[in-house]
Chains A and B, each alone.
Chain A
Amino acid sequence: MLDHDCHPSFGELIDAAPNRLQVPATLLRALSVAERHCQFDQRQSPRIPLMLKGAADVSSTLPAFPRGDIRGRVIVCDASLRGMRFLFDQQLWPGERVRLLLPESQFTGEVARARRLQPHCYEIGVRLDAALSQNLIRQFLSQQRLP
């Protein structure tokens, strides 16, 4: 199996994940415009705007930032073949390991960048361990819904 295993019960895990994320509707609307962050975009493949509900597991990987493993709700804003951008309630740091759960799939990767948008809302960019297939991206687009 690949990292992005498909599993029908991920939806339950996502619903059970603590939801501390605070994203005002205005911010959500602004973030749905993919060009907003084009100044930081150095991807080799284009990013596809999405708006998917999910959850993230973050493992404690950096000695200078000790904390227990974290699980929390996320909103995935976009994806490219090798990366995903999502909103999370906590600051993450480059190099931290993340497992992302989406309703029917999961992915692992490493935090590439993160920045605070407002309290309890950070924009996180993750470099995925395995590339997404075009089929999977099409599947995302068909699942797409506002959380």
Chain B
Amino acid sequence: MNTFGFIPVSVATLYPTDGLSVDLYIRPPGCDEPILYCARTLRVKQADLGRLEDSGVTRLYIRHDERRAYQQFLRQHLDGWLRDPAQPMRARAAMLNEVVRDVLNESFAGGRTESIVDSARELGQRAAELLTSEPVVFQDVVRVLHHDYTTFTHSANVCYYAVLLGAMLEFSQSDLIQIAIGALLHDVGKIDIDERILMKEGPLTELERRQIRKHPTTGFRKLSKRPELSQGQLLMAYQHHERIDGSGYPVGAVGDEIHPWARLCAVVDVYEALTSLRPYRQPLTPTTALSVMSKNGDKQFDQEMFSCWITIATPRSAS
């Protein structure tokens, strides 16, 4: 999100400080506008970043016009970092997430399905490999994610959640890579929906609701001509709003008529939507989101998948 000409960046992405030439800003509590934290001429120390994180500051800010330089810095370090076991998982996940969001943002804004699919294939594989390379603490991953209501942020988060859930359900590594790619693409049909509808603060009209409800079919049709995508990936786009009890859309499929990957996507898609900022409400806490999902969860979601997700996403202190 752009806050007064600034964009937030995860503190965890700043640890390899060599080559980062942007000014870093911080937004103290109560301040509307970020203030300078560390000028580009000074090298931010790892100890400083650690202190920030320890005190609960997980985001710094950069000026919007320096976004390109920041992204260049991330992409330059990405491969090395992802393969470096000495780096904490949180930092690697943060760096990958920033790159994923930026690439998806550009691809979605371009509106070309080919470009979106190519980006998703590259980044989905990296996400699946990273999140299965060692045991992952869910809250560590959540800490580095953004929770705004843009489609690319949502798609990125759904991708990570889907991999974590799929791994717990013991899907194979090759399946997890495909699931990650499918999750990045599951909402591709939304690029045809007017932004004013997606960002609307008030209740949707019947016509607007119909537009929204077309996105699974639109997404399926966009992806269906691509030979490198599998049935499961297409059905993640087509069936992620279907519900086990037939109450979903676009066709009201029930039970195992819904592809397992789409059933998995449905669980994490709803959770991600509830825990993210929306134009019409604040994000719900994880506990509240799981509670909301539980009300109809036994009817609407695959029971095994939903139970596993509760195990993964329940805050440790509350479990």
8 Å CB contact of A94 from B224, B230, B252: B224
Q: How near does chain A come to B252, taking the closest CB pair, in angstroms?
A: 6
Task: Given A64-B229, A64-B231, A65-B231, answer yes or no on A95-B220 (Cβ-Cβ < 8 Å).
Answer: yes
Closest to A112 in B: B217
Task: Given A62-B224, A64-B224, A64-B230, answer yes or no on A115-B217 (Cβ-Cβ < 8 Å).
Answer: no
Q: How near does chain B come to A106, taking the closest CB pair, in angstroms?
A: 24
Band of interface residues on A: 10 to 19
Chain A residues lying within 8 Å of B252, measured Cβ to Cβ, are 115
Closest to B246 in A: A115
Band of interface residues on B: 10 to 19
8 Å CB contact of A116 from B217, B224, B227, B257: B257
Verify if B61 is at the interface (C-beta below 8 Å from A).
no
Verify if B250 is at the interface (C-beta below 8 Å from A).
yes
Complexed CA–CA distance, A116 and B254 (Å):
9
B147-161 vs A, CB cutoff 8 Å, 1 = contact: the mask equals 000000000000000
Q: How near does chain A come to B216, taking the closest CB pair, in angstroms?
A: 9
Chain A residues lying within 8 Å of B51, measured Cβ to Cβ, are none
B202-228 vs A, CB cutoff 8 Å, 1 = contact: the mask equals 000000001000000100110011110
Chain A residues lying within 8 Å of B221, measured Cβ to Cβ, are 94-95
B217 touches A113 (CB 8 A): yes
Complexed CA–CA distance, A93 and B257 (Å):
13
Question: Which residues of B pack against A, CB within 8 Å?
Answer: 210, 217, 220-221, 224-227, 229-231, 233-234, 238, 250-253, 257
